[in-house]
Structures are given as structure tokens and as C-alpha cells.
Chains A and B, each alone.
Chain A
Amino acid sequence: MSTKPRLATVWLGGCSGCHMSFLDLDERLIELAGKVDMVASPITDYKGFPHADITLVEGAVANEEHLAHIREVRKKTRTLVSFGDCAITGNVTAMRNAFGVDDVLNRAYRETSAVVVGIPSGNHVVPKLLPRVRPVHEVVHVDYYLPGCPPPADAIWRLVGDLLDGREPVGDVRRFG
């Protein structure tokens, strides 16, 4: 059984740009592979969300599945990081809050479609959209904030390095916004 720290990354409602910035660690990914066990991430295959020492959360809470998932992730994570501006403020994902859910769905699936067999949302296969998109810290306790759209790879490297080495992160990494 490996005793390396357990790192996870999660996507909620966002564009995946924060995860792309994580991959922009480039060859530092190889170094990271030696330092941590990547226990869950969109780039690995994994079973139900495992216990993690550090979890980076990209994206805002936009539907009922996100809500259930982030609550489970919080329970199983020691240090939770709001990873990027959508997680921290809702950002672009929350721009739909200025409109009603029905207006947004109508524009996307009725007005722009020549054939409407059905409108997705909240049936047995796709999750129901929340009436208001929320930042992660409105839903669960968040330990650290890593801002940016997306956060630069160097900032990710520094924060993860500080947390792995047991140093209190310095600079802007705890600042909201």
C-alpha cells in the first residue's frame, strides 16, 4: 500500500480550462507522478470518489449532480481547494443566473432547433439544473482558493507543492477572487 499523499481533481460546471492548466505542468507531471498518488481525476479511471488528502475542484455548482458530488468530495477530502474563478465566484458558469432556467433552455434547445423531440433537464438520465449557479464555498467549506481563469500552471505547482510539504501557502493563493 502506497503511503504517498493522495491527490484528486474534480470538474463541476466549468470549461475544463483549469484542468488544462494543470496539464500545462508539462514534464512536471512526471515529477508529480513520483510524489503523489493520483487517486481520482478526469484523466484517470476510478471507482466511487475515494478518500483524498488534497482535492482541487474546478467549476461552479450548477446542477443537482454537482451538489451531491461536491458534498461527497468534501466528506472524503482533508484539504479542499476551490480551483479557478468558476469554483470561487461562479464566473462565466453563473452568468445564466441573470436569466431564468427556462429562458436559457428555450434558447438552447427550442429556438435554435428545427426538430424538438424533447428538452433535456431533470429526467431519469440528465440532471436537473439548479435555479441559481453557486460557487463551491456557498455549498461546502473550502480550505484554499486558487484564483484565475484559469490559474497559471506555476501557481498550481506552488500551491500543491506547499500543501504537500506542509508549508502554509503564501501569496495570493488564499485570497478570494
Chain B
Amino acid sequence: MPERIVIHPVTRIEGHAKISIYVDAGGQVESAQFHVTEFRGFEKICEGRPFHEMPGLMSRVCGICPVSHVIASAKAGDGLLGVDPPPAAVLQRRLLNYAQVLQSHALSFFHLSSPDLLLGLDSPPEKRNIFGLVEKEPDFIRRGIRLRQFGQRVIELAGGKRVHPVWGAPGGVLEPLTKEARDEMAGWVKESIESLQMALGRLKSLLDSLQEEIQYLGNFPSLFLGTVSADGGLEYYDGMIRIVDSEGNVVADRLDPQRYNTFIEEASEEWTFVKFAYYKPLGYPGGKYRVGPLARLNVAQHAGTPLADRELREFQQRSRGAVCESFHYHVARLIEMLHSVERIDELLNDPELLGEDVRARALPNRKEAVGSCEAPRGILFHHYTVDHDGTMRKANLLIATGQNNQAMNMAVEQAAQRFVRPGQLTEGMLNRVEAAIRCFDPCLSCSTHAIGQMPLVIELRDRTGRILDRIERS
């Protein structure tokens, strides 16, 4: 049995997790695992409830991206009713989905990861957080806070609440959007674009000093899976699935999200509450793939908005094939935020957005349906089966973090092997292992469908349990 170092908890991520690092007899890191330690069981607790309740219930899977769950749930509801929502409802859903991407990415980049990037991975941990940035980088962090605020405010203006809005429903949405709400949203666009261009410039200026992290925080070949529009552009609400390999070759294209379970399956392991999704033709664990910002920018041929297109062209030149460095999730996230603001601006200028007709009504016409959308961290599927009267019989949720689970475990192992010296543990070494996880921005409340937080202590023990080395954040 190798010795084991435990990082518990992983901090500044959206959830409750541990990392185990296994050390061989020669004192070298042999392997590592990422454990998610929470569970709530949404796939069971929905049974026996009316499917109309699902957007409200499934929203509670995650307080960070509730809108994504509402949209996937409402789209599954559209399928059960057998209706197409009116155009104004589709535009509202698109608008809030972009707002969701914007606010969630802002949290990941500014609130959680930028302390590592701007203050340094080895900087004192008690200041390596958003409050440390308030002291050292007040303009930068204020802009980040306001970007998140913009996304949250769009959600609040349309749905009445920022977190768990009462808004989406099978067949459409509940209320038309008012002109006043639209005008307030439009007032945020200019500042947001300026802030994002500033942040992109800042991040790119730091990349030269982070070469070792870029190379070793999860840099490996894998498949990438994401949604594209009919002409191969970035798409978040509707579209078909494309899979590319690390060389950038299209492995599968125009896959129907409704038929996700013909090409994606999941595996369960006893050491983590997050399942492992894999591409079915390659089996488990060979069919590992990545989703989310990096994957979306690797599968799309263009963004479809001018500022994001310019950034996307530059981004895709980082590699001859697909961009495989997980660190570049950060860059991809900022490009997606820029794209989201550009799309929000377009939607706010579409007169149909304020349409009064926002909900198609019907009795259930089908017993099974799948709803999907691109959530901030990657594609999300809600698959429901109902009785003849619309009572939920079964639900299956397939969530981004489960789809990135194999890649996150590989990233943790690669970072541990590169940076951790078991005889001389330092806090900065272990922060790099955690930073590998932060690249993926795992939403553990989504994936397990729960969340939590504990203090951090790392212990290196031998097989008898004797402590060989120990480190706390201090």
C-alpha cells in the first residue's frame, strides 16, 4: 500500500471535495484521486411529483447555475407536452442562459481563481482570496464583482429573484419581459465589455510567467464535446453535438442531444459521489472527454460575434489541433463571457424579446423527453419519464462535472506528480494541485447534487497511520 497525502478540503471551488495523493516506497508521487464528498439524490426525490414542479425543484440542484437547470428542465417539459415555446419565450431563455454563463464564469474567474493568478500561487493563503484582492487590486476585483452583478441582475429582472428565479416552465416562461427591465439591462453592456477586455489583456499578460502551470495542470489529449449551431458556431441553447479529438479532427458530428444515452454512458466508483461519463464507443475509462468552455471553443468554428470571434481566432492558434491545456479553461471562460455580453446586447435589441405570448399550453402528450443546454461548465441533460397524467416516474441528470470527472482526476495526478515533493511539503505545492481543479471550475453541487465545506489539513501518513508530515493553511 502506498502512503497517502490528503488535501481536505479543496478550497475556492464550488463544492466539497478532498484530494488523495499516493506516494510510492521511493518517496515519489504515484497517483492521485479527486473525491467529491456530498450527495443529495435528485434522481430519486423527484419521483411521484408532477413534472410541472421540476423547474422549481431541479433549480435547487445548484445555487450557482440554477438557470441552466431550469432551462434543461423546462425544455424536457416542452418535450413532454409536445409543444414549441413561443418566440419571445425562446429569446428570454437564451438571454438568461447567457446571463447565467456570465455570472457563473465571473465567480469562477474573479472571485475564486484570480487570487492565484494575480497574487501568486505561493502567496500567503490568508490573503489569497477576494478580500486580499480588495486590498491589492481594487479596480480589478470591483469590475469582476460588477460583471457577476450584471448577470445576476438580468436573471433578477426577468425572474424576480437572482438565485432560484420563479421563471421557466414547460412550454415557455411565466411572464413577458418589461421594457423597463430591458432598458436597465442594456445600461450594463458597455462597461461589461470594457471590463472583459481589460481582464483578457491582464490574463494574457500573465501567461508567460505561468508556463510550468500551463504545461502541468492538466495538459493531456482527450476528446472534447460541445454543442454547435447549424453552421458550426458557438451555441448554448439549442443545436447539435460535435466531438473532436486532441488533433482537432471531428470524431462525431450532428449528434442529437435527445439521443444522448446512445453515445454517452456513466460509471460509478466507490471513492467519489460524482459519476464518470464516457463516450460509449470507446468504453470506460477509454472514452474520456472534456466539456465546458475549453471544449466549446475547441469544437466551434466561429463565435458569431465580432469581439469574441477575434479572440477565438487567437485562442485557436495556441495549438495546431485542439487546445489541450486545461489551464486555458480560464482564457476560454473570459472569451465566453465577452461573447455572452455581445449576445445579450443583440437579444436586448430584438423587438420580439418583449413579446406578450410567452407560454404554450397543452396536456402531456409524451411519456419521455430530454432537455439539454450548454450550462456554464458544459452540456447538461435532464431526462424525464412520466405517467399518463404527468407524474414523474424516473429522472436522469447528466451534468458537466461528471463529464469532466476523468479529466479532473488526470489533472490532479499530473499536477501532483510535477509539483508535490512528499518529503518537503509546502502549502504552495498543494495549492497547485487544487489550482488544477479550479481550472475546470467543477460545480460539485450540480454533479452530486450537493455541496459543503471543511477546513484544510494535509497529512502524509504511512500504512500504519503514523503521521510522517503534516501541513495546515496558516
A interface residues with partner B (beta carbon < 8 Å): 10-21, 23-24, 26-27, 29-30, 33, 38, 40-49, 59, 62-63, 65-66, 69, 91-93, 95-96, 98-99, 103-105, 107-110, 112-121, 123, 125-127, 129, 149-150, 152-153
Contacts and interface: CB of A to CB of B under 8 A. Distances in A.
A38 B271 CA distance: 32
Contacts of A127: 37
Contacts of A29: 130, 134, 145
B66 A95 contact: no
Given A15-B445, A93-B40, A43 B474 contact: no
Given A13-B40, A44-B11, A49 B145 contact: no
Interface stretch (B57-65, B80-88, B188-196, B244-252): B57-65
B270 A15 contact: no
Given A115-B284, A120-B39, A150-B163, A13 B60 contact: no
B148 A92 contact: no
A49 B163 CA distance: 28
Nearest to B156: A24
A104 B454 contact: no
Contacts of B176: none
Contacts of A120: 39, 268-273
Interface of B: 11-12, 14-16, 18, 20, 33, 35-41, 43-45, 57, 60-64, 66, 107, 111-112, 125-126, 128-131, 134-135, 138, 141-142, 145-146, 148-149, 152, 161-164, 265-273, 275, 280, 284, 396, 431, 445, 450-457, 472-474
B267 A115 contact: yes
A26 B131 contact: no
A59 B265 contact: no
A26 B145 contact: yes
A66 B44 contact: no
6 contacts: A11-B451, A14-B450, A26-B146, A48-B455, A114-B266, A125-B20
Closest 10 CB pairs of A and B: A17-B63, A118-B270, A115-B267, A114-B265, A104-B41, A47-B472, A95-B45, A109-B268, A44-B129, A45-B125
B60 A149 contact: yes
A33 B134 contact: yes
B15 A16 contact: yes
A94 to B, nearest CB: 9
A91 B64 CA distance: 18
Contacts of A38: 129, 131
A102 B197 CA distance: 50
Given A45-B125, A120-B269, A104 B164 contact: no
Contacts of A14: 63, 445, 450-452
B142 A92 contact: no
Given A23-B148, A104-B44, A118 B269 contact: yes
Contacts of B12: 42-45
Contacts of A42: 11-12, 14, 453
A153 B454 CA distance: 24
Nearest to B69: A15
A125 B111 contact: no
A99 B44 contact: yes
Contacts of A65: 37, 452, 454
A119 to B, nearest CB: 6
Q: By CB atoms of chain A within 10 A, which of B44, B152, B269 has the most? A: B44
B268 A110 contact: yes
Contact of B112 (A10, A15, A43): A43
Nearest to B434: A45
Given A16-B64, A126-B37, 4 more contacts: A20-B107, A30-B138, A42-B453, A150-B63
A129 B163 CA distance: 27
Residue of B45, B148, B280 ringed by the most chain A CB atoms within 10 A: B45
A95 B57 CA distance: 11
A20 to B, nearest CB: 5
Contacts of A18: 63
A24 B103 CA distance: 11
Contacts of A117: 267-270
Contacts of A109: 268, 275
Contacts of B41: 96, 99, 104-105, 107-108
A92 B145 contact: no
Most buried by A among B41, B125, B148, B473: B41
B453 A10 contact: yes
Nearest to B107: A23
Nearest to B40: A93
A82 to B, nearest CB: 15
A95 B134 CA distance: 39
A107 to B, nearest CB: 4
A109 to B, nearest CB: 4
Contact of A149 (B35, B142, B164): B164
Q: Which of B16, B107, B112 has the most CB of A within 10 A?
A: B16
A43 B454 CA distance: 12
A41 B131 CA distance: 11
Contacts of B40: 13, 62, 92-93, 96
Given A38-B131, A150-B63, A69 B454 contact: yes
